[in-house]
Amino acid sequence: MKSYLLTLCFLVSILLTYAQKLPYASLQTIDNKTVSTKTISSKEGLVVVSFWATWCVPCINELDAISEVFDDWKEEINFTFYAVAIDDARTKNRIRPMVKGKSWPYQVLIDENQDLKRGLNITSMPFVIVLKKGEIVHKHTGYSQGAEEELYTTLKSLSK
């Protein structure tokens, strides 16, 4: 009976994850243009959203590692990648200079009021989600060297 309940709980958690949509929020580009999460969710193919902050060393390491393999991934997989900065008022002035210095090949957005962060109940960084047809199909928290390969494997399997 216990194993049946555990299995049922596991399946329900998977279904809830797959049924979750990206909450509505307005984000800013580096050039101060507004992008809504509705626009992000409606993209064709897979959509990767990586939440980061200028003070989060693992976040920056993850984005740097993905940047190095990004072009190779794009040759094989149809996906769009967004790096969403969640810096607060004390550190948000560091975002634009850091992004310009890094020259990351993906779009960087700013969650100025942390509305999206709160909407997804993000409590630790870095935090990555993958959307497929507007629904969250994968979540991952934290980063260690080589974790970008795990994300690549996930994207490959979801792109089929």
Query: At residue 12, does pLDDT exceed 80?
Result: no
pLDDT value for 3: 54
The domain locations on the chain are 22-158
Distance, in Å, from the CA atom of 99 to the CA atom of 86, rounded to the nearest integer, reads 13
End-to-end CA distance of the chain: 36
Non-local CB neighbours of 91 within 8 Å, separated by 6+ positions: 53, 54, 55
pLDDT value for 2: 54
Report residue 39's pLDDT band, with 50, 70 and 90 as the boundaries.
very high
Distance, in Å, from the CA atom of 131 to the CA atom of 120, rounded to the nearest integer, reads 13
pLDDT value for 17: 45
State yes or no: cis peptide before 126, omega within 30 of 0.
Answer: yes
Query: At residue 14, does pLDDT exceed 90?
Result: no
Distance, in Å, from the CA atom of 160 to the CA atom of 140, rounded to the nearest integer, reads 20
Indicate the CATH number for domain 22-158: 3.40.30.10
pLDDT in tens, 94-107: 999 999 999 999 99
Distance, in Å, from the CA atom of 77 to the CA atom of 75, rounded to the nearest integer, reads 6
Q: Which segments of the chain does DSSP mark as H helices, in order?
A: 2-19, 37-41, 57-76, 95-102, 115-119, 147-158
Sign of CA dihedral 158, 148, 124, 92: negative
* pLDDT, mean of residues 130-154: 95
* pLDDT, mean of residues 79-87: 97
* pLDDT, mean of residues 35-44: 93
* pLDDT, mean of residues 128-135: 95
